[in-house]
Amino acid sequence: MPPSNQIRVLLLSAMEKLEKTLFRLEQGFELQFRLGPTLQGKHVTVYTNYPASGELFNRRKFRALSWHNPTGREDDSDKYCKLDLQISGSYQYYFSHENEKSGGGYIVVDPILRVGADNHVLHLDCVTLQTFLAKCLGPFEEWEDRLKVAKESGYNMIHFTPLQKLGLSRSCYSLADQLEVNPDFSSPNKKCTWSSVGNLVEKMKNEWNMLCITDVVYNHTAANSEWIREHPECGYNLVNSPHLKPAWILDRALWHLSCSVAEGKYRDKGLPPSIENDHHLNSIRKIIWEDIYPKIKLWEFFQVDVNKAVQQFKILLTQGNRKTKSDPNQHLQIIQDPEYKRLGCTVDMNIALATFIPHSNGPAAIQECCNWFQKRIEELNAEQFRQTNYHQEQAVTCLLETVVYERLADHGPKQGPVSRKYPLVTRYFTYPFKEMTLEEEESLMHQPDKACHFLAHNGWVMGDDPLRNFAEPGSNVYLRRELICWGDSAKLRYGNKPEDCPYLWAHMKKYTEITAKYFHGVRLDNCHSTPLHVAEYMLDTARKLRADLYVVAELFTGSEELDNIFVTRLGLSSLIREAMSAYNSHEEGRLVYRFGGEPVGSFVQPRLRPLMPAIAHALFMDVTHDNECPIQHRSEYDALPSSMIVSMACCATGSTKGYDELVPHQISVVSEERFYAKWNPAATPSTPGEVNFQTGIIAGRLAMNRLHQELGVKGFIQVYVDQVDEDIVAVTRHCPNTHQSVVAVSRTAFRDPKTSSYSKEVPQMCIPGKIEEVVLEARTIERNVSPYKKDEHFINGLPNYTVEIREHIQIRESKIIKQAGTAIKGPNEFVQEIEFENLTPGSVIIFRVSLDPKAREAVGVLRNHLIQFSPHFKSGSLPDDCSAPILKNLFSSIASKLTLADLNQILYRCDAEEQEDGGGCYNIPNWSPLKYAGLQGLMSVMADIRPKNDLGHPFCGNLRSGDWMIDYVSDRLISRSGACAEVGKWLKAIFVYLKQIPRYLIPCYFDAILVGAYTTLLDLAWSQMSSFVQNGSTFVKHLSLGSVQMCGIGKYPSLPNLSPALHDVPYRMNEITKETEQCCVSLAAGLPHFSSGIFRCWGRDTFIALRGLMLLTGRYLEARNIILAFASTLRHGLIPNLLGQGTHARFNCRDAVWWWLQCIQDYCKIVPNGTDILKCPVSRMYTTDDSPAQPAGTLDQPLYEVIQEAMQQHMQGIEFRERNAGPQLDRNMRDEGFNVTAGVDHETGFVFGGNRFNCGTWMDKMGESDRARNKGIPATPRDGSAVEIVGLCKSTIRWLLELSKKKVFPYQGVAIKRHGKKETITYDEWNRKIQGHFEKLFFVSENPGDPSEKHPNLVHKRGIYKDSYGASSPWCDYQLRPNFSIAMVVAPEIFSPEKAWKALEIAEEKLLGPLGMKTLDPDDMVYCGVYDNALDSDNYNVAKGFNYHQGPEWLWPIGYFLRAKLYFSRLIGPEMYAKTVFLIKNVLSRHYVHLERSSWKGLPELTNENGQYCPFSCESQAWSIAVILEVLYDL
């Protein structure tokens, strides 16, 4: 894969519908779909309509993508399917699970535009567009001279309004024939055809480097189009849309009223033709309510003919058609007449007959029933009358608002007296027949051959839902007069598919094909009310002819979410945005920031990263052609600075022809008939019809357009907008490779400087870096020529304003700058202070700025050193001639000498571990300390900041403010010795350059250095691990780092010394005593609480975690040393719980020895020649159970003898009192709790032990609350035979039996003294005893009369395994807990598969949580799932965290539960196995998400109920990580 290949990852989540989310991608990108946690393990299929290679796009044709799983099958974290995106457009994807659609969305791939004879790329952000009204270009042979103005002004794209034949109104958007070129363009001697237009477009592309786009208008056609007369079915008429009849009647009535007003017939009612005041408006309202509405009776279209309905009902009653009501919810309602005839509505007579039932068959009863029916119909009619009245009120309101705008408002067109040309209101429908009376016209409505020609006009509705078609049934827009109507255009009626209106679809398809053949792009006119399915079909047609079609549109939906629906469905390349919408310069600046670019100093993003929602690419216009002229709203002085601000935006930009010439009025798309001026370099300001660089702001525009294109081409993608004062906006564009900037300072003139006062004092500006040149300075100035007079033939602008412009000058030559000083702001930070003297309103000045030479060199060298991590840094890099010698080596070669123990120091170590060494984690002021002192502490924070470019984060602030964090990173490592110090020195050497660059760039480069170092170190860690890790998934690799995180060497050794006779033991020099000492890696139980000092190492935790964290990851030697170190501390046949370096060990747990034995077994099976460990020497710290601690080497024994001693002691029976017993050892323990007992039941072979005052298993919470009276009482004593210990013991005996048969272990059994006699119990015998008794005594039978059941009255759940057998409180045996699954994994042979499966299913239903297993059945009366160790209360069950193991969800048991399910599902059958694999993947996906999101990069000790965060838990626990690795290994 080429290194520049950009990959975006879209994580799929069940039921996530992203149709309103915009995902933008570029051609050449790879899009990967990956499964989110809700889908992992499921059989998901992703479908897309993106075409397969070599196929054509078909929107309806979806194909399934194939999955790639680069690491095999242990989990779904790396599984993906992909698209290589090579074709622009909009594409849909969706995914299904078990044939049910589960979510989906769209992606939009940008087109690649090409210009010039050499077809070079024109990036979307380089577009500078100018709109031309086509009809103002004049005869076709004169077009070149007129278009040349755009070329000379530096534009690279022309937008033509439609070039088609226009309708009667002469509006640019009312087209008489979509297929014919406007005949106005032809002259007597030369006809203009589509191919002549095409040739010009091609010439402009090749010779002028300009592209051309034009509008497509799908929504309407000119009302006088010939083809719609022949095909009236293409519009909304009274035949295909009879619901419009009431609106048509109202429209005709208003037309007749308008004609009467024009003729003065309403003067006597206070309404003359000239409407001038509120009195006249009130008269209109009165006339409509009193004369019009009563006459046209619109309500009748929605009512029932009462007499007719009663008559029909009476006949049915008399005939005896009685009904009983079938559905009590069915009430009598009016059924609308589909033909909309007056009083044509009906009611359902069946409901009527079932509702109104006469009490007898007599005539009086029937008449009474009919009266009730009639009363109900009259009520329903009255409701329809009220509803119509409500519509009529709205109609009057809307009509009067229109009259006010058109005739009275200052900003309106001031139409003058009512006439036939300017009626009271615009007609909503065409009327192509001779006028008659309203009554006569109404009769035409029912004649289909006439009614089909009454076509609804198009328009727009303020605040309407753009996804709803306002002409369809169900909308009352026409009746309520809510349409702002275009009286020259008929709205087109497509239906849902081409078959619904074949002529219209075919006609518009041809129109689209002509456009796509000759133009490089289209502007979708009136996009927000073009039916989406129509626009999709037409754009698909266009893209078949021109794949890289540039599609722009202006949307007026008022919502980004709605905008996105259009952008994603249609694949819009750019949305038109307008600076005229800004009410002040501050808002104008905000729009620049909003529409493109990233912040200055942004982080370098990895090429493989999540696909983030985007905002639509902008085509940012200073003004669009259908909006009012800025000179009218602002001032002539604002044209230059506002267009400067716009052209500094990192997106496409544009303007409208006339803006640059300072035309002081809107060039109307309807009424303007004059021609644009031609280009003539020799013209004078007053020459009619000709322009050049002296005209308006054209000279400034050329400079701005050139600059805009240069910034886009050269990668100035970072943007900073500074509001200097209320009128001055400074926009910086910055290139992240060269760190060059261009700063444009514009002083806007929203208010006319002649009539408003502007401050003389312009604030001083500080520009960081070195100003290379003034690219441009320009001021709008007045000149002495004859004032503006509107020309009759040509569109002309203000001749008395022009731009004084100077380009590429030095600061000292500037006329706008008073002086420029250089100040030093902090080390290596050069700032130029600019004082202005002539920055008048309407001026702009642009600086080209680079870093000062020293900083520029530092950045170049830094980038050179970063190339080793990513080729991205090649551009802008400089060779390093005089760097520190250490930098001559690649970081990877410096790092290659590190061990995994070194990596623990470099990457991790929490605050407690660091404090032991006299340090601590870095604390960020106003935020919080980092989780780790090593690189992971920084990387966790940066992983959150980087994707969002959150440069305002306190972390970035700290880096910009000083070098403290930078020095901390390198100095911390240098203070250590060996390979770690070398890494520190390398970092310190590269940080020398980091400190020489401007502070605003430090976060970005600090991140780049650390990301490079960090990823190198992770690869190094994995390279030192097993093939399971090296070939594993991302999830496996990230979990395996738990081994680096937990296994380390502190300042003080945590493990007892190993035998001097043992080989391969690591030694180091003690800095204080200057003597050599052993320095073995020890395993922390959890971070941060169990990481240092006496509380770091625990026998139980170590050996539950050892297989996953050390054996599966390939750390065999270190695992051996830990096993042997603990072996040296064996006393009373037990391994200590708290190790305390052996000398402070507590032998108060019954299970650690069995976990230790299980680990030795695992070591022998996993490690090559693993059984060699049995012969390794163990230096016994306690030569007898009662002896004091001895130095290593006093007494050495092979490990197998130590193992045998543990077995022997258990069979003999263990009974002792802890050394140093009393409150000094344990302030909560009661005296009896210090007495430790353990043994083996000679009948069953079960190990047992403990009493009700101590807790010898992992559920070891001791009560601490005096207030709740639980102090000194264990919450879960689990005395008797705990199920997991019985399982671990069985596993060990089975293993020792196998070894003794192979003569690898020299003992066949254990010899004990009983009743004064020596007795031998063979391992075979012991093995058979447990096998024979386990299921009989531990399984809670489903049969209530089972004779093996000692306490049937205590049974709470059947079909489960007891948690213990023989507890001092017998009910504890019957509690459902997750411990039996441990026995299932280590000794599956003692379970029958069917019973095991049943018990696992109950555990799954009752105990399985999101991340862990509930430690107690939620149905148990003492269950409480929330652990709070700080809360003291009167509640015995929870005070001081008494419920630690009575409900909270611990993570490590879930590993054993899932492994047990996996093992037994294989025995049950392939279907159950497949279901189990799905369950496991799904559960593990939640651990993956937690691991990725955790700033500790670990898995917690426990969670509260249902996976809620528990603040008292360790954030990262060794055994939690280990067991998940074990599950993945088993998969």
List residues with catalytic annotation. Answer: 525, 528, 626
For the CA atoms of 229, 235, 236, 240, the dihedral, rounded to the nearest 10 degrees, stands at: 80
Pairing of strands 128-132, 157-160: parallel
Query: Is residue 1423 helix, strand or coil?
Result: coil
- Report the distance separating Cα 1530 and Cα 629, nearest Å: 73
Greatest alpha-carbon pair distance for the chain in Å reads 136
Residue 88's nearest CA partner among 50, 55, 117, 52 is: 50
Task: Please answer whether residues 988 and 883 qualify as being in contact, where contact means their C-beta atoms are separated by less than 8 angstroms.
Answer: no
Tokens 């799908």 identify what position?
218
Tokens 């489903």 identify what position?
1342
Phi, psi of 1377 (to 5 degrees): -135, 170
DSSP β-bridge partners for residue 1490: none
Half-sphere exposure of 1284 (CA within 13 A, CB side): 25
Q: Report how far Cα 1143 is from the mean position of its chain's Cα atoms.
A: 54
Question: Which pair of structure tokens corresponds to residue 283?
Answer: 């008269």
Burial environment of residue 294 by CB neighbours within 10 A (0 to 12, 13 to 18, 19 or more): exposed
Task: Please list, in sequence order, all residues whose beta carbon lies within 8 angstroms of the beta carbon of residue 561, skipping any fewer than 6 positions away.
Answer: 20
- Report the distance separating Cα 304 and Cα 1003, nearest Å: 76
Query: Is residue 1025 helix, strand or coil?
Result: coil
DSSP string, 56-81: ---TT--EEPPPB-TT-SS-STT-EE
Q: How far is CA 413 from CA 282, 410, 626, 1293, in A?
A: 21, 8, 14, 101
Task: Please list, in sequence order, all residues whose beta carbon lies within 8 angstroms of the beta carbon of residue 538, skipping any fewer than 6 positions away.
Answer: 216, 218, 508, 509, 512
Task: Please answer whether residues 523 and 216 qualify as being in contact, where contact means their C-beta atoms are separated by less than 8 angstroms.
Answer: yes
Q: How far is CA 874 from CA 601, 713, 915, in A?
A: 18, 18, 41
Burial environment of residue 859 by CB neighbours within 10 A (0 to 12, 13 to 18, 19 or more): buried
Phi, psi of 490 (to 5 degrees): -95, 135
DSSP β-bridge partners for residue 556: none
- Report the distance separating Cα 181 and Cα 197, nearest Å: 9
Residues present in the chain in total: 1531
DSSP string, 560-622: HHHHHHHHHHHT-SEEEEEGGG-SSHHHHHHHHHHTS-EETTPPPPPSEEEPPP-PPPEEEES
Task: Please answer whether residues 922 and 1007 qualify as being in contact, where contact means their C-beta atoms are separated by less than 8 angstroms.
Answer: no
For the CA atoms of 1489, 1494, 1499, 1500, the dihedral, rounded to the nearest 10 degrees, stands at: -120
Question: Which pair of structure tokens corresponds to residue 1073?
Answer: 């005593």
Query: Is residue 980 helix, strand or coil?
Result: helix
DSSP string, 140-180: GGGHHHHHHHHHHTT--EEEEPP-EEE-TT--TT-EEEEEE
Query: Is residue 1085 helix, strand or coil?
Result: coil
Query: For the chain, how far is it from start to end, CA to CA, in angstroms?
Result: 30
